[in-house]
Chains A and B, each alone.
Chain A
């Protein structure tokens, strides 16, 4: 039977929506941050815009994605299986989600210091590091979304 034809119980739909929409918001925040920081060319307003996109959009998106992931995982019964019994796409997606969250936090701290130092005319180097980390995260989450949707094994 094709995986497409499997119908989920209705009670799984909201956790899945929270997971998918959270991931979309996360990627949207990352794209906004990357775009703003990449085109800032030293403009403090755009540097701040990029940082705030990361903080106010990506971080809540990551939280929603991660809460939704835990919720849908428990509903689908993946939590009851040993780690090595999980399909590759699920392990890869989970690893990228969690490692990405850590990198997001690091980039927020580094960027936060950078934004603070903008008042003294400094900090653009730190925000370049935030840009680099955001590009890595954007790429990683695109791969994760592909893996979760295509489910290669």
Chain B
């Protein structure tokens, strides 16, 4: 395998990591919708860190190795339409992802407050913030943009 073959393999594995992280977040979103106590909410913390790590590795690996490949591989240029589109979509996905994290962090903060105050019983306000509609919408938009990147990578329009 050449260096470019390795870069491509790791670029694809990074994309797997990104999608796996996004899917894990969907699983956690389903789980947190039932979390009406601080304990149940905070119990998902370690799982969130695993999903965060997968998305982080995926986002970093796809952009760095993708740009490497655009410069290194013959026949492709960084200004090719489908590559520019992928970079723009990556930036949009990153922003949606940041906003999604912020939307769900409200519930975590609330759970920490309740935990610190010694309130261990069900809390309707916590349940409401854990069921954030804007968070779900942002996660759906983020997922749709990631899917568009994959479609762009396979179809390579204009290549």
Contacts and interface: CB of A to CB of B under 8 A. Distances in A.
B27 A57 contact: yes
A52 B118 CA distance: 32
A25 B19 contact: yes
B24 A27 contact: no
B5 A151 contact: yes
Interface residues of A, number: 37
Contacts of A3: 5
Contacts of B20: 24, 27-28, 30-32
Interface in A20-62: 20-21, 23-25, 27-32, 35-36, 39, 43, 45-46, 49, 53, 57
Contacts of B4: 2, 4
Contacts of A49: 27, 30-31
Interface string B147-159: 1001100111001
Contacts, number: 107
A52 B1 CA distance: 38
Interface string A72-98: 000000000000000000000000000
Given A4-B76, A5-B75, A23-B16, A28 B9 contact: no
Interface of chain B, main secondary structure: helix
A135 interface: no
Nearest to B19: A24
A16 B150 CA distance: 11
Interface string B39-62: 010010011001100100000000
18 contacts: A2-B73, A3-B5, A4-B76, A7-B159, A13-B155, A17-B150, A24-B16, A24-B23, A24-B150, A27-B19, A29-B23, A36-B47, A39-B47, A149-B12, A149-B13, A150-B1, A150-B5, A152-B5
